[in-house]
Structure 1
Amino acid sequence: MVVVTDPWFTDVHETDPGRAETALAPPGSAGPFVRRRAESPFTLCVRRTVRGPLDAEVVRCTDDVRLRLERDPRHVVAVPLQGMLHVHYRGREIDVVAGGAAVLVPADEATVLVPAGSAVALVRVPGDVLCEDLEALLGRTVVRPLRAGVPVPAATAPDALGPLAPFLGDVPGPDSVLGNALTAEPLEEAILDGVLHAADEPAREALDATAPSWGPRTVRACLDLIETYPERPHTARTLADGAGLSVRALQDCWQRHRGRTPEEELGRVRLERAHRDLEELRRGEATVASVATAWGFRHEDFTARYEMRYGRSPEVTLGSPAFA
């Protein structure tokens, strides 16, 4: 298992409304303003994860919470995880339902109202990091800084920002998705790509344009690297860098010659390695969860994928007699 020391996690619960407004101000925010609905028990939960350039926090509350975001040089993505959000931004009022998102551009103030019982995720991404990701996708330089965009209508955001869900919904800690480089680094790229596809940016059309294709030899070289070193935190970006291609060119080439994505190929190889470990290890030496984590799988996803591939549960394989 790859050990990552970079992630930083906080998980705070506050039951005093007064202290919640003063002591639990999210980064880049003037602090939450809580509107009490009744004398019922109060709880405000703020979970924050920082890894590399990404800074994400999840806010849940039993009462209405208004978050005033101050001017911030980063792009801010507001995603309702439960319930809905009401965003006031640039004189516009926008309602965002679960499955949607609002991309708020730098240097502007915004107010996010989180109704009682709802949950919001706020993800902050530096503009220069988005530029680097866009250049890797296109294989060319882009004008910096990125042009300011507009809030993303809820109907257009789900496909682009869907990868945010496991990143934001995971419990903070070293065993989370962001505690393992095998899952964290590809997920970071997916989040950056999602923001770029969702934002109103001049290169948006270029991201949808047909990418130049290459022969199968390029794919074979990348596949050899994956099969030889599956324990490395490969991503579409690192594979493209190694092949001297843009990310989009590599992905299109891979799909053309292999009928699947590089990520799917990597998952296949790692599942085979996990299966081998389960056959070789005995109960007491490992658990299904530890093997899944070591190969970059979430436990629930691993079990379903394993059963589909091998026709039995991973627990059965781990408990089978050696040489049976």
Structure 2
Amino acid sequence: MAHPQSPGWYDDPENPQQLRYFDGVVWTRHTSPRSTRPAPGYAAGHGQYGSAPQDSAPQGSAPQAPAQGPGHGVGAPGAGPAPYGPGQGGAGPGWQPPQQWSPQQQAPQGGWHLPPAPTTYGAQARTPDGEALAGWWKRFAARLIDWVIVWLGSLPLTGYFIYRAGNELGPAFDRYVREIEQGNAGATPPTVTPDVLKWVVAYSVILTLVAIAYEVFFTTRTTAATPGKRALGLRIRLRERPGPLTFQTALTRTVIPMGGNLLSSLPLISTLVAMLQLADGLLPLVNQNKQAIHDLMARTNVVDTRKV
């Protein structure tokens, strides 16, 4: 389907018996049947298309097409859509051909208005150079895969600390369960004692350091992606230019999602850390560039290499 160069009423490419409005970007659903005589109100003084007669359409309605004079505005067979402009056939006495309306011309007060241009709602978000950005669910799934890999891979280093914390907490938990089974509604649940806390902190520190090393190592490679992201076709890049990340940029991206875990085992600030990490994880859902807080800090984007 041919596209005109400017907004206005043109021969309908799908139906030669009517006109269709082109808004400068796409053909709209607004159509108007052809007429064999000039429309009232297009006599002298109404030479500019868009001048509203007394019974003009209410404000905010679809644009109204002027009626055609005989032989006016009809495209040649096989040709593209002819603009609805000055005619080549005869016109009634005193009738002035309508001019092509342009967006720079102001619509008459109380008359029709140009239909709104299409918005970008639902369009694929992209980097400035055109790479498609990754969706939230894919990023979440990739992060989950990476955390499973990190947790399993770090067990040789963290297993001992998990075992010692379990030994410290186990007896108190067993005692609490027995009291509940005996009908003691006032049983006190086990608390994290200093002896338990020291093993939990050690476990958290080692796991976090392994996660940071894992993230930095893979995102500074040529692929610029962790195994979880590669499995789903994702890659990390600077927003303004493609390519692997520098060590500093890769490290900056880990401050909130991973570095925050160093503080999550401390009772006084663990809630604040959890809220910050939650906000970081959910921000790509509402950010127009699909960036989390750590992306904004490092000026990065996660792109989907499987989208075009």
TM-score by length of 2: 0.20
Report the TM-score, using the length of structure 1 for normalisation. Answer: 0.19
Larger Rg: 2
From the two aligned structures, give the one with the greater strand fraction. Answer: 1
Q: Which structure features the higher share of helix residues? A: 1
